[in-house]
Amino acid sequence: MARDELPPGNALLTALPPADRDRILPLLEPISIKQRRVLHHDRAPMEHVYFIESGLVSVLAQIDERKAAEVWLIGREGLSGIPLLLGGSASPHRRVVQLGGSALRMRAADVHAAMNGVPSFRAVMLRYVQLALVQTSQTSACNSAHPIKQRLARWLLTAQDRIGRDVLPLTHDMLARLLSVRRATISECLALLEREQVVGTRRAQLEILDRGRLESMSCLCYRIMANEHERMMRDLRAPWGLVFDHGTGRAPVDGHGHTGHRHETHLHETHHHDGHRHDGHRQDGGPDGARNVSSADGCGPESSSFSPTGGRRSSPL
């Protein structure tokens, strides 16, 4: 999505109607999230949901005793702690801060109370769950089917969308761990992108110089995930993010004299076709319509193979 489309702060909280947001804000504790901090350990009880305001958080799936792969990337569009939204209390996946920033933390008990007692909060949170489902499934498919160059391009574009700036504080080691490949493979890919003036690198930093070309190097997976992201943001920009009359609990008149049932909360769904690139480049070759700018599909021996398996007291609502 366009990077300036994300509102400041956390997009989910910003989407709440003002009166409901005022009910939620006293339950939130602002915190700093430092790089490498584990927000949620695998299989451990989750005590909080973290609404990310800045920085990046990876959801990591363990694929063997020593390796984990990223299946989901969270920025200021979302939160860490979806199991708590759905009535769960733990997950087999770790949530680790990759780029430090800030977040608003909410206790598990308050999350449950808000999901049950604030319809707009529940609706916005469940709309985000839909985005997470699309991202995790598409990432898994991408990791199993596409060469590393395309996967790297997809990851860089997604990270840029999430944090809203061109310069990313990243190391080769970090990218290699997240994409579950050798460091040498990442270095080779980045060197190729730098020669083509798509990115610029210096110590512990990477700058995206030509986003259009980077999109053309990515696979269709990025566009599918970006389309879903854009759809969620449009849904959240509908009247306070919801087709919902917040004063009465009824859906508003739809222009034909019809109203919805009391207490039903639905997100406005905008329908359009996914899977079409919008960068003006014709894509040829391969079933997903993606083709790299360079003649090589990958950057090393690992480029075409991957097997994914990687407080304070709150006020009452």
pLDDT in tens, 23-44: 999 999 999 999 999 999 999 9
Cα distances (angstroms) measured from residue 126 to each of 82, 229, 242, 275: 9, 14, 12, 24
Asked whether residue 307 carries a pLDDT value surpassing 60, the answer given is: no
Query: For position 32, what pLDDT does the model report?
Result: 98
Residues 6+ apart with CB under 8 A from 94: 38, 40, 41, 42, 59, 60, 62, 68
Residue 72, classed as helix, strand or coil, is: strand
Tokens 């919008």: give the residue.
278
Cα gap 194→97, rounded to integer Å: 26
Which residue spans within 150-194 are E strands per DSSP?
A: 167-168
> Can you tell me the mean pLDDT for 152-181?
94
What are the helix and strand counts (H, E) for the chain? 10, 9
Structure tokens at 51: 């609404």
Which residue spans within 180-269 are E strands per DSSP?
A: 199-202, 205-208
Query: For position 239, what pLDDT does the model report?
Result: 56
* Domain-wise residue ranges, the chain: 7-146+232-243, 147-218
Identical fold, 7-146+232-243 and 147-218: no
Give domain 147-218's CATH architecture.
Orthogonal Bundle (1.10)
Give domain 7-146+232-243's CATH architecture.
Sandwich (2.60)
Cα gap 155→178, rounded to integer Å: 9
Structure tokens at 305: 């193979």
Cα gap 218→180, rounded to integer Å: 18
pLDDT in tens, 180-217: 999 999 999 999 999 999 999 988 899 999 999 999 99
pLDDT in tens, 53-75: 999 999 999 988 888 999 999 99
Confidence of residue 237 (pLDDT cuts 50, 70, 90): confident
Structure tokens at 203: 């110590």
Asked whether residue 266 carries a pLDDT value surpassing 60, the answer given is: no
